[in-house]
Amino acid sequence: MAGCSVALQSLNATIGDLARTDMPVLLLGESGTGKEVYARLIHRLSPNGAQPLTKLGCTIIEPAELLAVVRRADQNEEREEALLLDNVDELNHDAQRALLSALQENETNPGGHKSPRLISTATRNLDREVNAGQFRRELYYRIAGVKIRLPALRERKEDIPEFLEYFLERCARQMGRKAVTVLEEEMEILQGYDWPGNIRELENLARKIAALGTIGQTITEMKNTGSQTADRPPMTFGRTSLKAVAREASRMAERDMILKALERTHWNRKEAAKQLEISYKALLYKIKLMRVPGN
């Protein structure tokens, strides 16, 4: 995964070394930090990367279904599969017992072949869950051969520009539009945000920017509703005059009205100009200043 932070570079190096082994891996991190992305990367870089990676969503899976899938993977003699146990911390006690039973069966089968590699993801602290009796200790030892913690985006904000540029270009390409350019002052605001949804929230932001063709409205929303942690003071966005704030608020409000009018008229600019009660040429000029793709 691309990024310039020390945390991400260290993580990438660890993943590269670990992928070449067959050890079970437990990826820990907040929602949206990229646990599944790294799980698939570990498998792809492994010696058996060309073989299937079977994903089991542990949030709603039934014990019988879990048992059947694991046994089927164990009994496949033609290829060595890997199992991705996504959100393994969501398994209830019955499902934990079924998974442990399936793994133990393969270990005691004298004619069995190599078990599928286990790659698991979890959001909660499983050490704490084990100590509280919420997660089976024997199962924990089998899935946590190596534990890797994925840092939250707020812990590596220097990666935000590179991630955002990648997502903006990809979203624009998917929508058949020109990628929006983020100004330096806009990027400073984005890097002052806490990103509770992590990389997934950043990707959603890029999708919204690509769809609207502008970042201004989103920046205003982030200024007004910036995410805060309990032990941190409110975010500040630099010193500025009241007159400058008023100008910026007016510009953002105007941009918001124009975008909504364009959406209502399915981007019929002449109809939008009528609704906004401005001339067609004036609207075209304002759209150009807004850096809307295609203009």
d(CA 104, CA 108) in angstroms, rounded, equals: 6
- Give the C-alpha separation, 195 to 77, whole Å: 45
pTM: 0.70
Question: Domains of the chain by range and CATH?
Answer: 6-151 (3.40.50.300), 157-289 (1.10.8.60)
Cα 29 from Cα 122, distance rounded (Å): 7
- Overall average pLDDT of the 17-37 stretch: 93
Reported as a single tens digit per residue, the pLDDT across 283-292 is: 887 777 665 5
Using the predicted structure, report yes or no on whether residue 245 has a pLDDT greater than 90.
no
> What average pLDDT score do residues 208-236 get?
62
Task: Name the least confident of 20-24, 143-147, 225-229.
Answer: 225-229
pLDDT, position 280: 82
Distance between CA 161 and CA 96 in Å, rounded? Answer: 41
Helix or strand or coil: residue 27?
A: strand
Q: How confident is the model at residue 126 (pLDDT cuts 50, 70, 90)?
A: very high
Q: Considering only residues 71 and 161, tell me which one the structure prediction assigns the higher pLDDT.
A: 161
Per cent of the chain over pLDDT 70 is 80
The answer on pLDDT for 167 being more than 90 is: yes
- The per-residue pLDDT for 109 is 55
Report pLDDT for 231.
38
Under the banding of pLDDT at 50, 70 and 90, the label for residue 80 is low
pLDDT for the residue 186:
86
- Plot region of 176 (φ>0 → left; ψ -120 to 50 → alpha; else → beta): left
The 10s digit of each residue's pLDDT in 248-269 is: 566 667 777 888 888 888 888 8
